[in-house]
Structure 1
């Protein structure tokens, strides 16, 4: 049995948004808490972490409080925006020695260009970890910590992000604006976890609820879970028949 835990389900700003806290005019930001989108997938005492954003320190402390799992996860990254990579320094500070990191060549090159020391063995080996890069190409399959991971390039505004098919069961698409042309592997999955930033507003790089409804009709998954939810989406258990993810939510799969 494997499990997927949502560390974060919100936008880059997080919820409550500081802008809304300052203005005091947002009902959702007064009542809801969502951190940067991220999940941990656990299987057979090993783990992978998908994305390590600005809120990683808080997210992982909460995770350790809930699950007492001290195995450091392997890191998989969808794209090089701050809400996906802003916590990498914190991640490496809790590691020692060489750690694998998996992403597209574009994302790994971006990270290395901006923070080359992440990929250099430190003089004091116990001070922090360092990365060994592993490129995930479009439609490439790789087993990571006993989990079959297939990567797919999807549009995310002006760049490509990675979506992942996990153990042929869960299709995880956290950051996208368009899935066309749709890979055949996207159809008829057990669970579709998908970006849904707003109800009907169009925001560059992301889907809204109307987009999700169209894709759900096309892909026909057994279950749809919405993530990446902004303060334009209130917290309810379901929306238009789709399950809404929340920070700390857990699902199991075989």
Structure 2
């Protein structure tokens, strides 16, 4: 269920907003992700996941009719590299030192993905989370992959690395499109009313100032539909007493910020094809995030066909960790790898 709240706006903006408002159907949609079809498609998917830095620099050509997920960011709130590591005279952090290089897979911005899929009206672009570094991610990947519009933004939680980039959406609503729908839980919307009060109530801004034109839609912990694509919220804990949402669309399950998965959420993960899961560090979990050992434990329990980890800190060296993870395919049949900024994964929705 989605509750449309809109925003409080001055009369001119309200008129324009009313004319441009869209209504979304809440009818049940049957969506599935294929088992990657034929052998050529399997090889194509594997090629997308290979650790070849050239892929990051030039991008992979994907047919316009092919749905895909693009990882816009796969790092922590402060991103990688860390300034403190780069200015440390002892230079003890090889990951951050390597991450300075554009195209290095240890270079990570705030966790976020873009879902792209064809519709009769053209390609639809749905963003999950717009954090502090969103604009930098957009600068890097939108021109590279030919992305211009944002058809909706879905929010997982109200931390700065998930909503800190909402103000930057003004570039789209001022120059590309009249507004952007935002889908957010009520508890997180209440936070936005404080942190981004001028986006919720644009009547408070200085006359003539240009801010993001956002259409707020309240979601609950039940399925909702955005531009013909069904999303099922996956409620998880992101620290004690703090609720965050993952999302299932088709047979893709995305859980970017999690310290514990409640028992009632596991049935929603059944028959998951692609699992995108939080894995902060290589040795242990924190109070708010899975570490790699816990993430692997969850993979064994959920049993997805493929898993891509996200939200990695600077102790997670992309190449070294993936070299260890690939061994799990031989020993346990687990297809698990770290994702990276700019990774494109073809899917069928």
TM-score range, shorter chain: over 0.9
Answer 1 or 2: which has greater strand percent: 1
- The structure with higher relative contact order (CA 8 Å, sep 6+) is 2
Larger Rg computed on CA atoms:
2
Per-residue Cα deviation, 1:87-145 (whole angstroms, up to 9, x for no partner): 1111134214443111211111101122211123468789333222212211x111112
Partner residue of 2:164 out of 70, 73, 86 = 86
Q: How many residues align?
A: 252
Whether the 8 Å contact between 2:108 and 2:341 is mirrored in structure 1 is yes
* Alpha-carbon offset, residue 57 of structure 1: 1.2
- What TM-score comes out, normalization by structure 2 length? 0.68
Q: How does 1:1-254 map to 2 (within 5 A)?
A: 1-23=66-88, 24-31=91-98, 32-44=106-118, 45-96=123-174, 97-121=178-202, 127-138=210-221, 140-158=222-240, 159-167=242-250, 169-181=251-263, 182-236=265-319, 237=322, 239-241=324-326, 242-254=336-348
Q: Give the secondary structure class of the aligned counterpart of 1:252.
A: strand
Q: How far did 1:183 drift?
A: 2.9
CA deviations on 1:27-82 (whole Å, 9 max, x unpaired) are 11111211110110011111111111111111001122212221223111111111
Alignment partners' CA distance in 2, 1:153 and 1:127: 35
* Alpha carbons 1:121, 1:129 under 8 Å: kept: no
Stretches of structure 2 lacking an aligned partner (at least 5 in a row): 1-65, 99-105, 327-335
RMSD: 1.8
- Per-residue displacement from partner, 1:172-200 (whole Å, max 9, x unpaired)? 00000000213312122110000000112
Q: Pick closer, same or farther for the CA change 1:126–1:251 going to 2, 3 Å.
A: farther
1: distance between equivalents of 2:229 and 2:208?
29
Distance in 2 (CA, whole Å) between partners of 1:27 and 1:186 is 36
User: What SS does the aligned partner of 2:84 have?
Assistant: helix
